[in-house]
Structure 1
Amino acid sequence: MHWSHVGLNCTDQKTTEEFYTRYFGFARAREVNLGDSRIVFLRKGDAYLELFPAGAEPAAGPPAGNDGPQAPGRMRHLAFQTDSVDAFLAEIGDAADITLGPLDFDDFICGWRTVWLRDPDGVIVEVSQGFQDEADTTKDVTHG
């Protein structure tokens, strides 16, 4: 088993595609024409985003804020790693709808810095630098 993709409902697929290709390095991998709509697949390495046209359903729960929704069954946020949060923010400029941060988490991991922002459809996107796994990852977290 391996990771496949995240599906996102988009108010405007073109705007969402431009956001993830311009600021996160994704490229179009495929477009599936469904007649009256389409699905766009974006790829970066082994990661895929599947962009769907949004339906007319009302949003489940209140709009996402800070680091994302906390209600069960809702995705909290997408997350990406960068070498420099500050350089990323300089590049994205006014297109960054920051919801939280940037925050430093040096108390947990030296050099860990994170910012959260909204994509064009309101999905919270976390951009971090400096996160590292624990040194001892041999423990099986489900069995101790």
Structure 2
Amino acid sequence: MSCNSCVQDGGCEFRGFPSKCHCGLDVVILTSKTKQNPGRPFFRCPTLNDGHLFKWVEDCVYEEVVDAKPKISSIDNEINAAKCEVSVEIAELKCMINELKEDGTWSKREIKRIKLWLVCICLTVTAIVLLMLYTSKNQKLMLGY
């Protein structure tokens, strides 16, 4: 940053957009009407005293951009790292989904097999009970002791 753009006691004390002069007053934004800088915006201390704040707006913008670049780069790196982590997590979740689908298919097959066994057992028990009833027409069926 060039301190030619801001005049203060001992040089520049801030970067970017100023809000207060070192004297404590809020700065104002004005537009230059000189032949050298017509229409050029600048910040200035309202006291108009020498040694108080004067800074061109484009210098402020430049400083803001320069200061933001490392932060943006850091954020970009964090976003890329997060994307990688999310991609890995997505791949793991897809794998888990496939395993659950396989488990669900296996469970459906097992349930069908168990149902078939239950039907067979029920039919067998029913057949045995009917056979016992028909073979013992005159005999009493006693359950228990």
- The TM-score by the shorter chain falls in which range? under 0.3
More contact order relative to length (CA 8 Å, sep ≥ 6)? 1
Q: Give the alignment's TM-score, normalised by structure 2.
A: 0.21
Bigger Rg, which one: 2
